[in-house]
Amino acid sequence: MRVFFIGFGQAGGKIVDMFVEQDKRMQTQSFRGIAVNTARTDLMGLKNIELKDRLLIGQTVVKGHGVGTDNVTGARVTADEIDAIINAVDSRGTHDIDAFVIVAGLGGGTGSGGSPVLARHLKRIYREPVYAIGILPAPEEGRLYSYNAARSLSTLVNEADNTFIFDNSAWKNEGESVKDAYNRLNDEIVRRFGVLFRAGEVGRAGVGEMVVDSSEVINTLRGGGISTVGYAISEKISPRTKQNQGLLSGLVRKKEKTEEVLTGEDKSAKIIALVRRAMLGRLTLPCDYSTAERGLVLLAGPPDEMDRKGVEKSKSWVEENIAGVEVRGGDYPVQSDYVAAVVVLATIGNAPRITELLEIAKSTKEDVLKSKEKRSNMFDDGIEPLFE
């Protein structure tokens, strides 16, 4: 799957920078990306996105200093300079792209305000689906950030074809520094979506037996709304000892075949357990998984470990546990010492964290209106001003 990433704002830019770095390291050329920001310093801090692919917008309004957590200004600046952003996307080439993915932190100003505007224009111009990865701020980060996130998300779900949510509050660890925490969270995002968006590509390990290509991913996400992703990784697979070639090589191969028959059920059980762990463990957005309309199961790892019965049974298990009946799945062979399972739960019907976020936003809006009334009444006591 070939994906065009657009990192919007500080958080989005850093994450897309990590996607580009991962793509360079794996030499797959599946991902390309640009970073868009109103703050010059945020763009200068990126390491892997080329300078020509870093776009500074809103210079006439904020002079390269960011919008100061004001997502209304972020939306207005993006709308004013949308032509420049679309030109930057076109200049990188879009003829072979399967999907656009906008990555943004929803609690700030630039990404929070600009990503829904960009999603609307990309959908109007291109035929490819436009997805978003939105990062929710933790409640402890402040009510302003929650309010921004609620406004941005309620707009974004109507503009993007599907919105993946990553909830910071579900992933925080005690005692971490701010830098370490954000680096770890960004790494979790890149690891999960890196496996998902590479589905179907032909690597050095060959083609999967049950291929999950880009159309499978697109059809899973076609219902819109919000989606969540589960991920689990196996223990390290012990490498088989290389057998010496000789008179006993035939007997060794026969013994290996017998062992494979005996361990076949064990391999399928391991895959089913891995998929269960991915779905029942920490999702990017904790939710009631039984309300998901569609699902996708993807297993990545060494071809010898991809047990067909295990993949099929794990798909059936996911189908039994979600609201819908559409569950796609397959394998993606890679040269690795581990097996990874990715489970996408698309179009979620019930997520307590989203409900909580919207409640915080409503109470924040009411408090803001009350504080405005108090401020306006403070000096309304009949004293004449010096001048009008």
| Residue at 379 is within a domain | no
What is the reported pLDDT for 242? 38
* pLDDT tier for residue 304 given thresholds of 50, 70 and 90: confident
User: What pLDDT digit, counting tens, does each position of 105-123 carry?
Assistant: 999 999 999 999 999 999 9
| Residue at 27 is within a domain | yes
Lowest mean pLDDT among 105-109, 233-237, 292-296: 233-237
Whether the full predicted model's pTM is greater than 0.85, yes or no, is yes
List CB contacts of 173: < 8 A, sequence separation 6 or more: 181, 184
Pair (191, 257) in one structural domain? no
The count of structural domains within the chain is 2
Pair (164, 49) in one structural domain? yes
Lowest mean pLDDT among 38-47, 148-157, 304-313: 304-313
What is the reported pLDDT for 91? 93
| Residue at 124 is within a domain | yes
Mean pLDDT along residues 116-142: 95
What gap in Å lies between CA 236 and CA 228, rounded to an integer?
26
What is the reported pLDDT for 379? 66
* pLDDT tier for residue 377 given thresholds of 50, 70 and 90: low
Helix 143-159 × helix 352-377 angle, to 10°: 120
| Residue at 89 is within a domain | yes
User: From the annotation, which residues make up the binding site for GTP?
Assistant: 10-14, 109-111, 141, 168, 186
Running DSSP on this structure, what letter comes out for residue 7?
E
Whether residue 273 is predicted with pLDDT greater than 70 in this model: the reply is yes
Query: Which domain, by its residues, includes 81?
Result: 3-198
Whether residue 248 is predicted with pLDDT greater than 50 in this model: the reply is no
User: What pLDDT digit, counting tens, does each position of 56-87 carry?
Assistant: 999 999 999 999 999 999 999 999 999 999 99
What is the reported pLDDT for 386? 82
Q: What percent of the chain has pLDDT over 90?
A: 66
What gap in Å lies between CA 195 and CA 341, rounded to an integer?
9
Whether residue 244 is predicted with pLDDT greater than 50 in this model: the reply is no
What gap in Å lies between CA 267 and CA 295, rounded to an integer?
22
What is the reported pLDDT for 305? 85
What is the reported pLDDT for 158? 96
Q: What are 355's two structure tokens?
A: 């409900």
What is the reported pLDDT for 265? 56
Which residue do the tokens 């500080």 mark?
10
List CB contacts of 319: < 8 A, sequence separation 6 or more: 295, 325, 327
Whether residue 18 is predicted with pLDDT greater than 60 in this model: the reply is yes
What is the reported pLDDT for 272? 94
What gap in Å lies between CA 222 and CA 214, rounded to an integer?
12
User: What pLDDT digit, counting tens, does each position of 332-346 carry?
Assistant: 888 888 899 999 999
Whether residue 3 is predicted with pLDDT greater than 70 in this model: the reply is yes
What is the reported pLDDT for 28? 82
In this structure, what CATH number is given to the domain that contains residue 152? 3.40.50.1440
* pLDDT tier for residue 368 given thresholds of 50, 70 and 90: confident
| Residue at 70 is within a domain | yes
In this structure, what CATH number is given to the domain that contains residue 263? 3.30.1330.20
Pair (183, 54) in one structural domain? yes
User: From the annotation, which residues make up the binding site?
Assistant: 10-14, 109-111, 141, 168, 186
Q: What region, left, alpha or beta, does residue 212 occupy, with left being phi > 0 and alpha being psi -120 to 50 degrees?
A: beta
Q: What are 4's two structure tokens?
A: 């065009």
Pair (179, 239) in one structural domain? no
Which residue do the tokens 């976020």 mark?
357
Whether residue 125 is predicted with pLDDT greater than 90 in this model: the reply is yes
